[in-house]
Amino acid sequence: MEASRAQANRLLESMTAMFLAGTVLIVAVQVICRYILKVSLPWSEEFSRYLFIWGTFLGAAVAFARDSHIRIDSLSRRLPDTVCRRLESVTAAILICFSLLLSI
């Protein structure tokens, strides 16, 4: 179970990196075509936008798996361990609901 989870995380990380590299490459090609060759690629803006959006969503999944989302932990440091674990569960549930809301 743990090995498949690690493998899925590596796949998500690789896909996120590929989407980011693809976005940078497409935008660079568009800039070169537009300003040097004086020809515009009609598909590049929309394609790079979708790659960026999907890269953002996949990056959020990777950050969730690594538990590295930005947070302020001054309150959780002062709470007892049991309350802190409950607070983390509630925070994870809110984050999942917000991510689902964004994906609609």
Q: Which of 90, 64, 60 is nearest to 75 (CA)?
A: 90
Listed in sequence order, the DSSP H helices in 36-104 are: 44-66, 74-78, 81-103
Residue with tokens 């964004």: 102
Give the domain ranges of the chain: 1-70, 72-104
Average pLDDT, the chain: 88
pTM (predicted TM-score): 0.70
Q: How many CB atoms lie within 10 A of CB 97?
A: 10
pLDDT digits (tens, 9 = 90+) for 39-88: 988 899 999 999 999 999 899 888 888 888 777 778 778 888 898 889 88
Note the pLDDT of residue 29.
Answer: 94
